[in-house]
Amino acid sequence: MLDKLDIAILEALQADGRLPNAALAEKVGLSQSACSRRLDILEKSGMIRGYHARLSNAALGYRTTAIVHISLSGQFEKSLAEFEAAIRRCPNVLSCHLMSGEYDYILRIAVKDLQDYERIHKEWLSAMPHVTKINSSFALREVIDRTTVGMKPETT
């Protein structure tokens, strides 16, 4: 269970993952050693999955986001595993979610333009194992792209 100090650490790191331990400890009101111990626990528990630089897809030339719904021939464990192994190799896929409902998967894909999407569709998506239907939409504008989640202390 997260307490107020754990939440403060997580919120501070979500805002700036490059904070040195000394600055993080000062920000949350802990000694450096206590902060380091808590941080180690948060990392080992899996609450902190890693640290990375957040890049701008648009600045890198990927100005379009495609939202792609995929249907498979069946939701057998082998089919799902084979599709998921194949989709992990496609470098333009930003996220992939197994879904309930009409489609089996929803993908978010970064593309340079429609021609780039056509290439990805031909070379990657259509070649994926067990795919029977692909439905694509294109984002007109990004409204929210959070990497953070709001947190509040759990109460018992």
Q: Over pLDDT 90: what percentage of the chain? A: 88
Helix axes 32-44, 21-28, angle to 10 degrees: 100
Whether residues 36 and 78 fall in one domain: no
11 inside domain: yes
Q: How far apart are CA 1 and CA 154, in angstroms?
A: 7
Using an 8 Å Cβ cutoff, are 74 and 54 in contact?
no
Same domain, 77 and 115: yes
Residue 11 sits in a domain of what CATH number? 1.10.10.10
Pair (68, 124) in one structural domain: yes
Number of domains in the chain: 2
- Evaluate if residue 151 carries a pLDDT over 80: no
* Residue 92 scores a pLDDT above 70: yes
The closest alpha carbon to 32, from 22, 19, 47, belongs to: 22
Q: Within a domain: residue 150?
A: no
Q: Does the residue 70 lie in any domain? A: yes
Whole-number percent of the chain with pLDDT over 70:
97
Supply the range of the domain harboring residue 18: 4-44
Average pLDDT over residues 106-124: 98
Model confidence at 149, pLDDT cuts 50, 70, 90, reads confident
Contact between 151 and 74 under an 8 Å Cβ cutoff? The reply is no
Q: State residue 122's pLDDT score.
A: 97
Residues 99 and 134 grouped into a single domain: yes
